[in-house]
Chains A and B, each alone.
Chain A
Amino acid sequence: MDFTFSLASFLSFLVAVALAPLFMGVILKVKAFFAGKQGPPWLIKYYTLIKLLRKGSVYSTSTTFVFKLGPIVSFVTALMLLLFFPFAGLPPVLSFHGDVVILFYLLGLGRFFTVLAALDTASPFEGMGAAREVFFSALAEATIFVIIALFFRLSGSLSFAEYFTGVHAVNLWSESAALIFLVLIALFIVLLTENSRVPVDDPATHLELTMIHEVMILDHSGPDLALIEMGAFFKMLFYSSFVSCLLFPFHTGTPLFNVIIFYIIMTLVYATVGLIESITARYKMDMVPNFILTSFALVFFAIILTMEFVQ
C-alpha cells in the first residue's frame, strides 16, 4: 500500500473532511435562491452537527445493538473513502492498485448496517425506506462497476489515485473524452441516487411514505444522528469530487491553484444538485428504476464503444 506521509496529502484530506458540511449549505442556498428566500446561514450544517453532538439520545424499546452499529459503520466507511481519494490531483493519503473495489464494497457495508438499523426499529415506514434503498442501490451498483471496468479498459488502472494522477489520467480532456462524457452523466445519476437527492428521493419532503433515506434514520437522535449526517456529507463529497476530477485535469503545476479550481468546480457540482432540486420534482417510485437504469445503459454503451473505436 502506498502510504503518502506528505503534509499536502494529509492537509487535503483534512480540508475535505472539514468542508463537507459547508458544501451541503451550497445546495440549500441555491434552493433558497430559486424559492426567492434568503435561506439558512452558510454554516447551518455545522450548527446542526454541534447541536446534535450536545444532545442525548432516545432509543426505541424494539431496538438492539444493531441499531447503534448503523451510524458507526456508515460513518467509518464514508470516512475511509476520503482517505483514498486524490483531491485536486494531490496524492491521497492511502492508495493501492485495486482500492476502488474494496472502497465501493465498504460503502455497501455501510448501507447494509444502515438498512439493518432501520429494520431494527420495527417501524413499517423504516422498513419501506430500507426496501427501496437496497433495491435502488443494487441498480446503481451495476453502473459503478461498469465505470470501474471502463476505466480499467481505458487506463489499466484500478485505484482513484491512478485514475486522476497517473500518466493515463481519465478526464474530459483526455483522448477518450467522448466516453468520459457518457460516464459523467451516468455518474451524476448515481450521485443523485446514492445521496438520496431529487429526482430519486426528496430529503425535504414532509411525508414519511415518500422518503427513502430520511425515513430510514427517523429513530436516530443525538450523536448517533450526527454520525449518520457526517457520513452522508462525506459520501456526497466523495461523489462530487469524483465528478469534479473527471471534469478537469488538475495538472496546472501549482498545487494551490489546483486546489482553488477544484473547490470552485465542486461548488458548481453542488450548485447543479441544488438547481435540479429546485426545478424538478421527485419521480414516482416506480419510475426511479428506469432513471437509474438509464445511467447503466449509458456506461454500457460506452464500454461497448471501446471494442472498436477506442483501443
Chain B
Amino acid sequence: MNTFFIALLFIGIGGLQTLITYRFYSVMKTVAVTAIITGCALGTYDAVMRIFQHSDPLVFSYQWLQIFSFSLKLDTVSAFFLVPVFAICAVAALYSYQYMHDAKRSAATANNYFFYSLLIISMALVVCADNLITFALAWEIMSISSFFLVIYDVHKKATRDAGYIYFIFTQAGALFIFAGFGFIYSQTGSFSFDAIATIPEYTKLVAFILILIGCGSKAGIMPLHIWLPYAHPAAPSHVSAVMSGVMIKMGIYGIVRFYLLMEPTSVLFGQIVISLGILSGILGVVYAIGKQDLKKMLAYSSVENIGIILLGIGVGMLGAASGNKTMAAFGFAGGLLHVFNHAIFKSLLFMGAGSVIHQTHTGASNELGGLMKTMPVTGRTMLIGSVSISGLPPFNGFISEFLIFYGAIHGLSLHGASFVFSALAVIALAVIGALAAAAFTKLIGVVFLGEPRSDKAANASEAGFFMGAALSILAASCLIIGVWPDYFVQAAFKASQAIPLVADFAPDSFMPIMTNIARTAALFLLFFVAVVLLRKILYAGKEITRSGTWGCGFTQPTVRMQYTATSYADSMVAFFRPFIQVQKKYSGIDKIFPGKTTYSSEIHDTSEIGLNRFIVRPIVYALSKLRWIQHGNIQLYIGYIVLTIVVMLIFI
C-alpha cells in the first residue's frame, strides 16, 4: 500500500478512536495526537519525496454505484500543497495537546479531534482530486468538518453567529464552484479533468470567474473575506491556525488547478487575478492595522497574504499569457512558496495569539502589554513570526515576496496594459510590505512590549511546554527557510513547471540569484553577531543603571498613558478613510470641572456594510414576501418537488 494512504489511515484512526475512548480524556487525547502526528509525518515525507524524485504521479480511481468515479492523481503541484497540509496540521496537533485542557468537555473534545482528522483527510483529497465529482465531494467534506471545528464553543452566542456566517459563506461559495463545474460539464459532457482544456476561450473565462468567486470566498479574497474575522476568533486556536494557515490555501489551490487545467491564452486571467490581489492585499493590511482584537487582526492579515499570493499567481499568469518565461516562472514560484511560508508564520501567529488568550483570557490588545517578560517563549516566537510575515530578511517571508517582486519587475519590459499591471503589482507589493510592518510592530509593540495595561496581562504566565514547542518549531522554520532557501525555492519552481511555458525552466535561471539572496541574509546575520559582540566589549566594565522611562518632564506617568493599538493605528486608518469606516464616540468636556469622559472607536468593514445593504437585505426582503410557500404540509412540499422536476424537464 502507498505511503500516502497509510498516512491518511493513521490520521483517520486517530480521529475515529476518540468517538469510542472519549470517556478516558487523557488517553483519548494522547492517542489522537500521536496518531495524527504520525500520519502527518508520513504524509509530509511522502509529499517531499514526490516533489524531489521524478516519479510518475500516483493515480488511483474507484468506481462506486456505476455513477460516481472517485479518482485521485498526485502530481508535483498536489504534492507541493500537501506539504503544508500535513506539516502544519502535525504541529497544530502538538499544540492542541495542551491547548485542549477542559476534561469536563471530553465529548466535545472528541468531536473536535474527529473533525480535525476529517479536515486533514479532506484537504489532502481536495489537492489530489482528479475529477469534478471527487473535487466537489472533498471540498464539501472540508467545508463541513471545518464548520464543526469552528463551533466548538457552541454555548457562546458569538461562536454560533460566527459558525452561521461561515456556513453561509462556505455554502454560497460551493454553489459558485458547482455552477462553474456545471458550466464545464455542459461543454465537455464529462466529469473528467482532461477535457477542460478543450472548451472555447470565452467559456473558460466564465467558468474561471465562477470558480474564482467560489474558491475566493474560501481563500478570503476581498470582498468575500467577511467570514474570516468572525470564524477565526471563535474557533479554538489550533483550529484557526490550521484554517488560516492551510485551509484557505485550498481556495488558492482551486484557482491554480483550474487555471492549469484550462490552459488559457488570454491576458485577462492574469489581469483579473492581479487586480483582486492588489485589492485584498492593501485593504487587508489596512484593516489589520485598524483592528485591535488579536485574532481579528490576524484574520485580516490572512486576507492581505492571500492578496500577495494572488499577486504572485497573477503575475505568473500574465507572464505565461505574454510569453515572458522569467515572469511566469518567478511569479508562480513566488506565489506557491508564499502559500507555504504563510502557512508557517500564520499558524505560528495564531497559535501564539492562542497562548496569549489562553493565559490572559482576553484577546483585546488594548488590555494587554508587557507579555515579553512573563511569556518569553511565546513573545520571542511571535516576534520572529511578525518579522517573517512583514516580508523582511533574513526570514522566509522575504524569500517568497522577493520571487514575486522579481517576476513582476520583469513584466515591466512588456507593453500596454501588461506593463501597467506589472507596475501596479510592484507598487502594491512595496506598499503592502511597509504597511504589514506597521501592523505587526503594532501587534508586538502593544501586546508584548511596554507595560501591562490590565491585571489580566500583569498576572500572565508562560503557556505549557508543548504549546511552546509547537511555536518554536515554526519559528525555527521561518529562519531556516530565510537563510537556506535552496530546497524550498527549488520545490516551488518544480511545482510551477506544471505551466507548459516554463516546463523547461532550468535551475540555472533562478539558483544564482537565490544563492546571492541567501548569502546576503547570512552576511547580515554575521554582521549582527559581530556587532552584538562589539557591543559587549563597549559595555565591558561600565556602569549600567536601571530606572523608569523618561517621561519628558512628567513625573507621574501611568500605564494608561501608553500608546494603544487604536492610537497607533489612528492616522494610518484615517488616511484610507473612504475604504475603511471608523465610528468614534467621545463624550467630550462640557463643564468647567470635567466629569468622567469616555471614548470609544470601532472600525467597520466597508465590504460587510456594502454586502449587507445591497445583497443580504434585498434577498431577505424578497424572500419574506414568499413566506406563504412555507406552511408545513409535507404532501404539498412533495408536490413542489414534482412540479419543479416537471418544469425543468420541459426546458431540457
Contact = CB atoms under 8 A, between A and B. Distances in A.
Contacts of B532: 72
Interface residues on A, range: 35 or more
B561 A124 contact: yes
A141 B430 contact: yes
Interface of A: 1, 53, 55-66, 68, 72-73, 75-77, 79-80, 94, 96-99, 101-102, 105-106, 108-109, 111-112, 115-116, 118-128, 130-132, 134-135, 137-138, 141-142, 144-146, 148-149, 152-153, 156, 158, 208, 218-219, 222-224, 227, 285-286, 289, 303, 307
B445 A120 contact: yes
B438 A138 contact: yes
A123 B563 CA distance: 7
Contact of B531 (A111, A130, A227): A227
A66 B563 contact: no
Contact of B433 (A53, A56, A128, A141): A141
A102 B545 contact: no
A152 B438 contact: no
Interface stretch (B223-231, B487-495, B512-520): B512-520
B406 interface: yes
Contacts of B387: 109, 112
A42 to B, nearest CB: 25
A73 B532 CA distance: 10
Interface stretch (B3-11, B26-34, B536-544, B640-648): B536-544
A112 B437 contact: yes
A96 B513 contact: yes
Nearest to B430: A145
B562 A75 contact: no
B451 A122 contact: yes
Given A124-B563, A227-B531, A57 B542 contact: yes
Given A55-B542, A219-B549, A307 B562 contact: no
Interface of B: 369-370, 372-373, 379, 383, 387, 390-393, 398, 402, 405-406, 409, 412-413, 415-416, 419-420, 423, 426-427, 429-431, 433-435, 437-438, 440-441, 444-446, 449-451, 513, 515-517, 519-521, 523-524, 527-528, 531-532, 535, 538-539, 542-552, 557, 559, 561-563, 567-572, 575
A65 B548 CA distance: 16
A111 B437 contact: yes
B585 to A, nearest CB: 21
A135 B439 CA distance: 10
B542 A56 contact: yes
B441 A116 contact: yes
A62 B392 contact: no
Contacts of A64: 372-373, 379, 449
A163 B535 CA distance: 35
Contact of A66 (B383, B517, B520): B383
Which 7 residue pairs are nearest across A and B when measured between Cβ atoms?
A127-B563, A119-B445, A145-B430, A138-B434, A56-B542, A122-B450, A134-B438
Given A76-B531, A98-B517, A102-B398, A61 B450 contact: no
A138 B568 CA distance: 14
B563 A80 contact: no
Contact of B549 (A66, A106, A123, A144): A123
A83 B551 CA distance: 38
B535 A72 contact: yes
A31 B538 CA distance: 33
A105 B395 CA distance: 11
Contacts of A73: 528
Most buried by A among B409, B451, B523, B539: B409
Contacts of A227: 531, 535
Given A56-B544, A98-B406, A108 B390 contact: yes
Nearest to A77: B524
A56 B426 contact: no
A289 B544 contact: no
B426 A131 contact: no
Contacts, number: 239
B516 A99 contact: yes
Contacts of A219: 549-550
A61 B527 contact: no
Contacts of B440: 112
Given A80-B527, A307-B419, A135 B572 contact: yes
A148 B410 CA distance: 12
A153 B516 CA distance: 22
B512 to A, nearest CB: 8
Given A62-B450, A149-B423, A307-B419, A131 B567 contact: yes
Given A102-B402, A115-B441, A219-B550, A127 B431 contact: no
9 contacts: A58-B546, A62-B450, A108-B392, A109-B387, A120-B449, A122-B450, A125-B552, A156-B413, A307-B415
B409 A148 contact: yes
Given A72-B531, A138-B438, A120 B516 contact: no
A149 B370 CA distance: 41
Contacts of B561: 124
Nearest to B380: A65
A227 to B, nearest CB: 7
Contacts of A102: 393, 398, 402, 517, 520-521
Nearest to B530: A76
A59 B544 contact: yes
A148 B423 CA distance: 10
B527 A76 contact: yes
B437 A131 contact: no
Contacts of A115: 437, 441, 445
Contacts of A1: 515-516, 519-520
Contacts of A61: 546-549
A134 B563 contact: no
Contact of A130 (B445, B523, B538, B543): B445
Given A58-B545, A98-B406, A141 B431 contact: yes
Contacts of A289: 575
A58 B545 CA distance: 5
